[in-house]
Structure 1
Amino acid sequence: MADVEATKSLTGLLNGIAQKAYYDNDEITEELLKTELFPDLSPEDFGALHEKMKGLLKSIAVADMDHGQLEAFLTAQMKKQGGGGLSEGQASALSRFWKSQRARVRESLLARSRWEPGLRGLTWRVDLQTSSGRGPEEAPSGPVALLELELGRPSQDSEYVCLECDEVTVSLVLKKMADIQRSIDAIVRRSQED
């Protein structure tokens, strides 16, 4: 029974560390984690455990370890001599935590590494332009593609950019996209041949 409680407390600690470090939850503090999860530990012992788990989680997250890498890493940590190693229960809790949170932590790290806003969405439609009524010399000019790009960072409101493209511009954009795809395909082929 004590092992189950210890595992739950350790899992709670890992979740708390992730909430603070990767999900920007400022309500989670080291003091809160100690009082709620490890009330019987001395502040020094809890501080050491907290720093150890925080460091291990950071190493795992930065390397974006897959299952095999994680198991090798945790095995090496369990074999460490002295007080710096992991117990089997701690390794098991870390493994379960990482399996459930890997994608979310990775997405958080990727979002933080972007300097510029990203494309959140794209909507488009084709309209037929009609005469503006300014004079008899203006005739309808044909179809127009209207593109609306939604740009933004994860923690900010979106900004919208609207573009109007005629048939020639759309053809040029499609040609450029095809050129980019051919370049990517050539790079992929070369890397697969090496």
Structure 2
Amino acid sequence: MQLLFLLLCLFVKPAFLQESQWAKLIFQIGAPVMPAGQTVKMFCMVSFVVNKYTWYRLNKTTWTAMNINNKSLTLIVTTKDSGEYKCSGYYNGTRYDSNAVNLTVVGSVYAGVAGLVLVLIAGVLLTLLLLWLWRQRAKEKAGQETLATNSAPAKGYTGPAKAPKGKSQAQAGNEGEVYINCGESNQAYSDLYPTYMTGDDTYATLG
């Protein structure tokens, strides 16, 4: 019986010890969501003395081993680094896997700066467009005011005189006008009343 008990202790104790071993993956620098260009450091915590570390990355449905034998994994991340990671530690020939963590790398810092620059440029262009429209409207308004001023009658001008009653517009327009006709005699005369004629084509006075 004692021999049987000793044999059981030899087999059960290592199994119990193996179950008490664990490995845990944590972010020492960074977080599960990081912008591109930043530093991320993952740390493989274990409860035992590790003979060898191995890091894995999930490739679609398969965990692919990375050629890193270190308790930490440091990356300056890009969008290509997005994915799931885990580490493992070997103790007496047995591998202990950690939990898996997901890393998501979002739009880079440069992309954010470029987006901000584009927004600023769009704002400047919109401002210039609004200023141009405002100037165009101001010019049109000024042109309309100038046209209205030029079209308005001069101060004190009452408009064209009306013809007296009983006279036609043609007669009223002919009053006060003098027509000078020059003949071969080079003597000036006007179409006046015949009673003032002193000779052929000669008048004594201008009426």
TM-score normalised by the chain length of structure 2: 0.20
Q: Which has the larger radius of gyration?
A: 2
| Structure 1 or 2: more strand by fraction | 2
| Structure 1 or 2: more helix by fraction | 1
TM-score normalised by the chain length of structure 1: 0.21
